[in-house]
Amino acid sequence: MLTRSLKHITLALIVFIWVVPFIALLTTSMRSEVASKTSGFWQAYTPTELGHRFGTHDKGGDAFMVLEGNILERLNKDRESYKLSGSITSILFKGRVPDPENPGKTILLRRLVPPGEVMDVRGGEFIFDEAGDFTWTFPEVTAPKPKNLDVFLNQDPVFGADAFVEVLFENKNVTNALISSFIVTIPATIIPITIAAFAAYAFAWMRFPGRDWLFVVVVSLMVVPTQLAFLPVLQGFSGIASWATQLNSWMTDCELDGTCQVASKTFASLWITHTAFGLPLAIYLLRNYIVGLPRELLESARIDGANHLQIFTKLIVPLSVPALASFSIFQFLWVWNDLIVALYIGPADASDLVFPIRLQKQLGTFQDQLHLLNASAVISMIVPVIVFLSMQRYFIRGLLAGSVKGG
Amino acid sequence: MSSMRTVIASNGLAIALTVIVILPVTGILAFAISAPLDALMANFGTWLHQVGQWSLPLVDTEERFAKIGFALRSIVIAVGLSFLYFGITNWLNAGLARVRTGSDVGRRAAVVEAIQPWVFVGPALVLLLLFLLIPAVSTVSLSLQNSDGAATLSNYAFLWDRSALGYEQIRYALRNSIMWLVLVPTVCISLGLLIAVLADSTRWGIVAKTLIFVPMAISFVGAAVIWRNIFAGGGIEAQQTINGVTPSYQIGLLKNLLGHSPSYNEPLYAIEFWGNFFLMWILVWVQTGFAMIIFSAALRGVPEDTIEAAKIDGANPIQMFFRIKLPQIFSTVVVVWTTLVILVLKMFDIPYALSSNDDDKLLLATMMENARNNWSVGNDNVENLFASIAVLLMATVVPNMIFNARRIRREQKEMGH
């Protein structure tokens, strides 16, 4: 009995550790800027003491002797969302008061004033209660300048989707990154799968000299670090680009407006590089699957006079859907989440950056806007997580085929 | 009549040349012809913008829709080209064979049969040759040259020469690589095994497994952003003490639990030396799901009768696991271990995202990036240095590669091919 509950507790603990970061992510993305940078995400669900600043009244108002108002109303005046509520705990009083030790001189006093205590603000008596109602009384009619006061508020939890709205509609980087990621990922998934499927079919069912050792070479390439290829590949692309630039200046009148330069790091160079890097795994997975298809089926098709292309499109592709699906998920996730290949080979233009690079840059630029950083991260994860969860079965099958014999 | 060999060779050459000419030309033409589609999309976006009265600037909408237009047509073109290739080659192969062999049906079939496999594996082999094999070889040779092309070992001087560029960095990178290499696979495998065993014996195990598996779907940078919420330091400047109390603006959960030391604002992953372990943990968080899924499947494949026999002999669950189940799935453990080792050796994203400029957190891959960005000042053979680090990276992977190739060969033999 003891071991059984120990089992549940251990597993629950591990799951908890795994899930907490996701909770942190979602919570932070739904908080206001101030809340997310001044308190931890775990404090978002309980009333938390946070500091805010409010102005007593608007500039240029009428003269008065007694001003009545509400701190929360003043705080919420310009807020469209994340409206504050809660009880006031104190106001930070900052001001110069006569120094008791050095008559004639003043000292700077910083003190937290609780509700109900009178404090001196611009010569008037300022008093407030927990609900935020304040009265500011002067001995005679005056028109004081508005005073900004720092107030500490035991603030009720408040959430909103503002960060998402801002990131998606006001900051164009994230939308651009989303579009760029789709531009890169979809062809970089479809092209390798097409090429690999044909190659896998040839490796599985066709006879040609050197087939077996070629296959071993192809599969061993699976573990070659892509870093090893970056420099020459990059040089190759810039060679092609300078050649294309010359061709461009020779064939068109681009010299007039100076648009001859052809970029070397483009979406197309990313597609083709991702295709090449994805091929070894694709060929390995698909060949092992296609080899397992019933031989009689193919032979009878050959006897019926079907050529290889017909057999491939009419028989192999429909029968290999599970294997094709598992590889396409791998490749989709790999390309969508890839940082390093895009960094070296992909377009460097700010509007063409893919999501991981954008997110990496935002780790720096959004250091003080954690709600935006987290919202942006959430958006970057929606697509892969949906793909992953909806096709999990195929993903697992692919994993097993890649590492457990007969799995 | 010409011999079979020449017919095959000349037909093959003809097909290859046709493809080399036709595919790029078609691609360029297709892009040029379809260019007005972008403007059309932009107009569509403008219309939507006006109908929906969107708040963002009209220019942005136009730019974005033009980009979507480009995306759509490039997808269609890219996919179309790869289908075009197989269509054309198949048609050419059959057609050329008919022309060259006349009415001899047997010979025609033989020619087609000889060329067809190369048509199918051709694109894959060419791409692998151009983008992996040749670049890898040329990186190795680049690392053995100086910037004038003369043979030298000086690009590796940082390994032994105190005065060489990168002497300090490579020591950090190698130290960290070894720590990552030992810890990450070990922790992932132990946790993966533990979770697999626990989850398969509890009713809600499937939910637990899915939750632990999900991090595999997200990017390493995304994982870094996620864990930043846990490992971060103070959100804004530490406030002055008021009435004897310092308001807590700690925003990182773990740092809050551990207390504010060692310093208020420093994130845990930035701490000297120990910060490495927090970076490693992020990778463990992502990859444990992988180990777990594989072990869970492998454990289910352990034959029932061995378990039954152990039960009759009175083995307790722990003995059962270590004496009966673990030895039987040991080969799977090794496979997972090699996969993780390769992943760790190539690790780049996590340290790059969270501590890119910190020598103390370098790995080989991040050191390469540092070399590319920082060393270029007053040094013209930066590319050769870059290449030499890449070769070191490769050297660390080679033992695994040989191991993997052997395993695959063995598998092929077992499968009877």
Strands A148-155 and A48-55: antiparallel
Portion 193-222 of B in contact with A at CB < 8 A: 194-195, 198-199, 201-202, 205, 208, 210-222
B285:A18 CB<8 A: yes
State whether residue A311 sits within 8 Å of chain B by CB. Answer: no
> Residue B243: its pLDDT value, please?
43
Query: Which residues on adjacent β-strands are paired with residue A88?
Result: A153
Q: Which residues of A touch B285 (CB under 8 A)?
A: 18, 21
pLDDT at B72: 85
Q: Is A226 helix (H, G, I), strand (E, B) or coil?
A: coil
Q: Does B266 touch chain A (CB under 8 A)?
A: no
What pLDDT does A173 receive?
A: 84
For chain A, positions 348-367, list CB contacts with chain B under 8 A.
351, 355-356, 359-360, 362-363
Identify which of A20, A169, A226 has the shortest CB distance to residue B55. A169
B333 touches chain A (CB under 8 A): no
What confidence tens digit (pLDDT) does each residue in B32-87 have? 888 888 888 888 888 888 887 777 777 777 877 888 888 888 888 888 888 888 88
Chain A (119-148) residues lying within 8 Å, Cβ to Cβ, of chain B: none
Tell me the per-residue pLDDT of B345-389, one tens digit each, with 9 for 90 and over: 888 889 988 876 678 888 888 888 887 776 655 555 677 777 888
Q: Which residue has the higher pLDDT, A274 or A352?
A: A274
Q: Which tokens go with B415?
A: 């499968």
Residue B413, number of CB atoms within 10 A of its CB: 10
**% of chain A surpassing 70 pLDDT:** 98
pLDDT at B222: 92
Q: What is the pLDDT of residue B282?
A: 93
Nearest CA in chain B to A185: B75
Q: B346 vs A339: CB contact, 8 Å cut-off? A: no
Which residue of chain B has the CA closest to A222? B401
The answer, yes or no, to whether residue B416 has pLDDT greater than 70, is: no
CA dist B324 to A117, B85, B227, B312, Å? 74, 53, 38, 13
Question: Above 70 in pLDDT, residue B112?
Answer: yes
What are the chain B neighbours of A398 within 8 Å (beta carbons)? none
- Work out how many CB contacts closer than 8 A connect A with B: 354
Q: Is A39 part of the contact surface with chain B (CB cutoff 8 Å)?
A: yes
d(CA A370, CA A376): 10
Return contacts of A33-37, CB within 8 angstroms, 24+ apart. A33/A369, A33/A370, A33/A371, A33/A372, A35/A82, A35/A155, A35/A158, A35/A371, A36/A369, A36/A370, A36/A371, A36/A374, A36/B235, A36/B251, A37/A368, A37/A369, A37/A370, A37/B235, A37/B236, A37/B249, A37/B251
pLDDT for the residue A405: 35
- pLDDT category at B192 given cuts 50, 70, 90 is very high
Whether B90 sits inside 8 A of A187 (CB atoms) is: no
State whether A28 and B229 contact (CB < 8 Å). yes
Strand partners, A87: A154
Q: Compare all CA atoms of chain A with the CA of B290 and give the residue at the minimum distance.
A: A399
DSSP assignment letter at B265 = S
Contact flag B124-A219 (C-beta cutoff 8 Å): no
Residue with tokens 């919570």: A27
Look at residue A113 and tell me whether its pLDDT is greater than 70: yes
pLDDT attached to residue B244: 44
Considering only CB atoms, which chain B residues are within 8 Å of A375?
A: none
Which residues in B lie closer than 8 A to residue A216 (C-beta atoms)? 405, 408-409, 412
Determine the pLDDT at residue B223.
Answer: 93
Of A379-388, B113-122, B265-274, give the range with the top mean pLDDT.
A379-388
Q: What is the DSSP letter of A254?
A: G
Q: Are B191 and A14 in contact (CB under 8 A)?
A: yes
Q: CA-CA distance, A34 to A370, in Å (whole number)?
A: 9
What is the C-alpha separation between A6 and A342, in angstroms, rounded?
Answer: 46
Of the partner residues A276, A355, A380, the one whose CB lies closest to the CB of residue B127: A276
ipTM for this prediction:
0.86
> Which positions ≥6 away from A285 have C-beta within 8 Å?
A323, A326, A327, A398, A401, A402
Q: What share of chain A is helix, strand, coil (3-state, %, to 5)?
A: 60, 15, 25
Q: pLDDT at position A332, please?
A: 92
Q: How far apart are CA A241 and CA A247, in angstroms?
A: 10
Residue B412 pLDDT: 67
Q: B12 in helix, strand or coil?
A: helix
In this structure, the strands spanning A86-98 and A64-70 are: unpaired
In angstroms, the Cα distances linking B60 to A107, A176, A366 are 54, 10, 22
Q: Can you tell me whether residue B240 is helix, strand or coil? A: coil
| Alpha-carbon dihedral A280, B122, A231, B153, rounded to 10 degrees | 90
Task: Give this prediction's pTM.
Answer: 0.85
- Residue A217 token pair: 């070479």
Q: Cβ of A318 under 8 Å from any chain B Cβ?
A: no
Whether the predicted pLDDT of A404 surpasses 70: no
pLDDT in tens, A202-244: 998 888 888 888 888 888 888 788 888 888 888 888 888 888 8
Q: Between B275-300 and B220-231, two packed helices, what is the crossing angle to 10 degrees? A: 120
Residues within 8 A of B (CB atoms), A 379-398 only: 380-381, 384-385, 387-389, 392, 396
Average pLDDT score over residue span B167-183: 87
Please, which residues bridge with residue A68 across strands? A135
CB B23 within 8 A of CB B84: yes
Q: What is the pLDDT of residue A1?
A: 61
Q: Which of B120, B405, B411 sits opposite A198 (nearest CB)?
A: B120
Burial track B16-32 (b if 16+ CB lie within 10 A, e otherwise): beebeeebeebbeebee
Instruction: Point out the residue among B70, B251, B365 whose CB comes nearest to the CB of A37.
Output: B251
pLDDT at B245 over 50: no
Q: CA A404, CA A377: separation in Å to the nearest integer? A: 33
| Residue B188: pLDDT over 90 | yes
The residue whose two tokens read 């569509």 is B44
Average pLDDT rounded to a whole number, residues B164-178: 83
Q: Which residue has the tokens 């001001």?
A: A95
CA angle A399/A401/A406 to nearest 5° reads 140
CB contact residues (below 8 A), chain B span 98-157, against chain A: 112, 114, 116-118, 120-121, 123-125, 127-128, 130-136, 138-139, 142
Among candidates A401, A183, A174, which has minimal Cα distance to A284?
Answer: A401
Distance from CA of B16 to the nearest CA of A (A): 16
pLDDT at A286 over 70: yes
Contacts of A265 in chain B (CB under 8 A): none
pLDDT band at B226 (very low <50, low <70, confident <90, very high): very high
Distance (Å, rounded) from C-alpha B407 to C-alpha A281? 15
DSSP-based three-state secondary structure for B266: coil
For chain B, give the percent of residues with pLDDT over 70: 88
Instruction: Walk across the sheet containing A133-142 and list its strands.
Output: A64-70, A133-142, A124-128, A119-121
pLDDT on residue B242: 45
Contact residues on chain B for A276, CB-CB shorter than 8 A: 127-128, 130-132
Strand order in the sheet with A48-55: A48-55, A148-155, A86-98, A106-113
Strand-pair partners of A90: A152
Residue in B393, B218, B361, B78 with CA at minimum distance from that of residue A376: B218
Domains located in chain B, CATH noted: 4-143 (no CATH), 167-232+272-414 (1.10.3720.10), 233-266 (no CATH)
Distance CA B279, CA B79 (A): 39
With CA atoms as reference, report the closest residue to A403 among B329, B351, B145: B329
CB neighbour class for A45 (10 Å; exposed up to 12, middle 13-18, buried from 19): exposed
Q: Are A221 and B219 inside 8 Å of each other by CB? A: no
Is the pLDDT assigned to residue A406 strictly greater than 60? no
What one-character DSSP code corresponds to residue B216?
Answer: G
Summarised one tens digit per residue, pLDDT across range A17-64 is 999 999 999 998 888 877 777 778 888 888 877 777 888 888 777 788
Torsion of CA B100, B106, B112, B118, to 10 degrees: -120
Please tell me the distance from the alpha carbon of residue B413 to that of residue B236, in angstroms, as a whole number: 62
Most confident of the following: A155-169, A337-351, B42-56, B232-246: A337-351
Q: Indicate the average pLDDT of chain A.
A: 83
Residues in chain A: 407
Q: How many helices (H) and strands (E) does chain B have?
A: 17, 0
Which chain A residues have a beta carbon less than 8 Å from that of B213? 392
Q: What is the pLDDT of residues A178-201, one digit of tens each?
A: 888 988 898 889 889 988 999 999
The mean pLDDT of chain B is: 81
Q: How confident is the model at residue B2 (pLDDT cuts 50, 70, 90)?
A: low
**Strand segments (E) across A31-156:** 48-55, 64-70, 86-98, 106-113, 119-121, 124-128, 133-142, 148-155
* End-to-end alpha carbon distance in chain B: 37
Single-letter residue type at B31? F
Task: Provide, as residue numbers in chain A, all residues whose Cβ is less than 8 Å from the Cβ of B354.
Answer: 363
Q: Report the C-alpha gap between B19 and B91 in whole angstroms.
A: 12
Q: Confirm if A389 and A396 have CB atoms less than 8 A apart.
A: no
Query: What is the C-alpha to C-alpha distance for residues B296 and A11, in angstroms, rounded to an integer?
Result: 14
pLDDT at B337: 86
Report which listed range, A181-190, A365-374, B392-401, is most confident. A181-190
Residues 21-80, chain B: which have Cβ within 8 Å of A? 54-56, 60, 63-64, 67-68, 70-71, 74-75, 78-79
Q: Which superfamily does A165-403 belong to?
A: MetI-like (1.10.3720.10)
The residue ranges of every structural domain in chain A are: 2-38, 47-156, 165-403
Predicted pLDDT at B380: 59
